[in-house]
Structure 1
Amino acid sequence: MSVSAAFEDSAEIAEARDLARSFLTDVQAVHGLPVSERAMGLVQLVVSELVTNARKYAPGPCLLTLEISDGAIEVTVWDSEPVLPTARAADPDRVGQHGLEIVMAVSRSIEVHREPVGKRIKATVVLADDPGGDAAGRLA
C-alpha cells in the first residue's frame, strides 16, 4: 500500500503532514496494521522535516511517497537539488538546521541517493511500539 503527492510551495507542508496522518489512519482501519500514536507523530515529524527541507533548498516541486513495508512506513522525498544533505555537528547555540539530525534520530534507517535529476531521501519509521527498542525501533 502506498500513496504519492507532489508539493510545489512551502504552504503545502501542512498538507503533507495531513496526507501522512490520513494514510496511516487508512492503514489501521482498512488493513488492520497497528500504528501507535508515537509512530503517527514521528511519521508526521519526518514528513514535515523532509518536505520542508526540499521546499527550502531545492528549486521546483518535490515528490512525497509513503509506502508500507514490513511493519514500517517508508517516507521518501525526491527533489531537484543534487547536493546531498549532511548532518551538522551538534551545536546548542545553532538556531534551525536540525531537520536531518531529527529525522536520523527518530528513524529506523535513512538512505540518501543522488538521482539523474536531484536526490531522493528515504526514512523508515516503525509503526508499532517496541518495548525492547528505542524510540526509532532499533534494539536498545
Structure 2
Amino acid sequence: MTVQRRIDLTHSTDAPAQARRIVAAFLAEVERVHGHPSSATTVDAVLLVASELVTNAVRHTPGPCTLSLTLQDQGVLVEVSDTSPALPRPRLPDITGACGGWGWPMIDRLADEVRVTRGPGGGKTVRTRLSW
C-alpha cells in the first residue's frame, strides 16, 4: 500500500512550520486510516527531518521547494526537492548558533537512509527513509 502527499512550499520562513503541520496530519491519517504504528519517537523523528530539510532549502536555495511524503510498509520516505544544484555539505556545528551546522548531522542520525539526487531542471532532491 502506498500513501503519498506532495505539497509545494513557498520560499519563506513559514515553510518549515507548514511542513511540520503537513507531516503531523499525514502521520495522524496513516495511523487512523491505515493502522500503521507511529510512536512518539517516530513522529518526532519524521517531524524533525522534514522540518530540517525544508529549513535547509529555505536557507540555502533561491527558490521554492516541494515536500513529498510516502508511506511504505516499513516506514516513511521524506523528500524535499529544491531549485539549487548545490549538494548539501556537512559543516562543523557552530556552538554560538551564528551559522548552524547542526541539521545535516541530525538528519543523518535520524534517517535510515539519506540520498541526494540531481533533478533534470537543475535542482536536487534530498530523500530520506525513516523506519517505523
Tell me the TM-score normalised to structure 2 length. Answer: 0.89
Is 1:121 equivalent to 2:126 in the alignment?
yes
Structure 1: state its 5+ residue gaps.
Answer: 128-140
Matched letter for residue 63 of structure 2? G
Residue of structure 2 equivalent to 1:40: 43
| Aligned positions, number | 126
Aligned to 2:104: 100
What amino acid does structure 1 have at the position aligned with 2:56? N
1:63-98 CA distance string (max 9 Å, x none): 000001132110000000100012234x56463121
List gaps (5 residues or longer) in structure 2: none
Q: Residues 15 and 55 of structure 2 are in contact (CA less than 8 Å); yes or no, is this contact kept in structure 1?
A: no
TM-score (norm 1): 0.85
Q: 1:94 to 1:112 in 2, by over 3 A?
A: farther
Counterpart of 2:73 (choices 66, 70, 73) is 70
Counterparts in 2 of 1:1-140, with a 5 A limit? 1-8=3-10, 9-89=12-92, 91=93, 93=95, 95=97, 96-116=100-120, 117-127=122-132
Aligned sequence identity (%): 33
